[in-house]
């Protein structure tokens, strides 16, 4: 049985040792300061349910990738069509969110509103973003938390739990190697902006420094 998880582990340089406590997998960039809650609230119910098989229908991803990913869920006793998050890529009603995306000055990028409602689980995996640039080191995935943390919401990078964030907090991680997951066991939705792109020189300068970016 083909397994996305086992194949990904072979590509990764992560230690996969539960006895080692990870402390530096989350790379904090800074924080956006402003008002965007109304924009998120206005579109959150427009988000579409995403599972492993439909999340990249517009890409050239091989069919056996989907089978391998679903095999992992079946082996774990989970529903292979379970909702992993709710997604939205149209930011025409979210000008402040669009400012966040534009701020990083990518050569090219894709962005999505990544929302988890109560019970949504995106299981442990390692990203495969190798189709975006010949040199994968030019690709970065940035997360912007769009609301304050609530107990029951978490992301995990390796074995490092990321929680207690504030609205506007910005971070990234080593997508090529670090296994990660996210889930929502709280009573409120967890909205997050995910921006994946090819870095320009300006992007590299921005991500190297702490920032407080005020959006007006």
Q: With respect to residue 18, please indicate whether it lies within any of the assigned structural domains.
A: no
On the question of pLDDT at 216 being above 80, the answer is: no
Whichever domain contains 128, its CATH number is 2.60.120.10
pLDDT in tens, 34-49: 999 999 999 999 999 9
C-alpha–C-alpha distance, residues 171 and 27, integer Å:
5
**Average pLDDT, stretch 173-198?**
97
**Average pLDDT, stretch 130-153?**
96
Q: With respect to residue 155, please indicate whether it lies within any of the assigned structural domains.
A: yes
What's the domain count of the chain? 1
C-alpha–C-alpha distance, residues 195 and 3, integer Å:
27
For residue 149, the enclosing domain spans: 27-50+82-214
pLDDT in tens, 72-112: 999 999 999 999 999 999 999 999 999 999 999 999 999 99
Q: With respect to residue 140, please indicate whether it lies within any of the assigned structural domains.
A: yes
pTM for the complete prediction? Answer: 0.94
Q: With respect to residue 176, please indicate whether it lies within any of the assigned structural domains.
A: yes
**Do β-strands 121-125 and 108-116 pair in parallel, antiparallel, or remain unpaired?**
unpaired
Task: Summarize the chain as % helix, strand, coil (round to 5).
Answer: 25, 30, 45
Tokens of 182: 């996210």
**Average pLDDT, stretch 53-60?**
70
Q: With respect to residue 67, please indicate whether it lies within any of the assigned structural domains.
A: no
């Amino acid at each position: 049985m083909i397994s996305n998880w086992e194949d990904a582990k072979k590509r990764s340089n992560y230690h996969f040792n539960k006895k080692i406590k990870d402390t530096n997998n989350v790379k904090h960039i800074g924080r956006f300061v402003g008002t965007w809650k109304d924009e998120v609230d206005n579109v959150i119910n427009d988000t579409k349910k995403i599972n492993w098989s439909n999340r990249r229908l517009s890409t050239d991803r091989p069919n056996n990738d989907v089978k391998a990913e679903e095999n992992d869920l079946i082996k774990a006793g989970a529903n292979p069509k379970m909702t992993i998050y709710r997604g939205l890529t149209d930011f025409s009603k979210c000008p402040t969110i669009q400012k966040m995306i534009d701020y990083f000055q990518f050569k090219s990028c894709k962005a999505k509103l990544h929302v988890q409602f109560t019970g949504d689980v995106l299981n442990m995996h390692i990203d495969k973003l190798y189709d975006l640039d010949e040199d994968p080191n030019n690709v970065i995935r940035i997360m912007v938390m769009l609301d304050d943390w609530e107990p029951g919401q978490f992301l995990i990078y390796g074995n490092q739990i990321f929680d207690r964030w504030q609205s506007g907090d910005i971070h990234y991680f080593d997508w090529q190697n670090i296994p990660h997951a996210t889930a929502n066991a709280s009573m409120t939705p967890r909205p997050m902006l995910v921006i994946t792109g090819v870095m320009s020189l300006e992007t590299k300068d921005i991500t190297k420094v702490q920032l407080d970016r005020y959006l007006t």
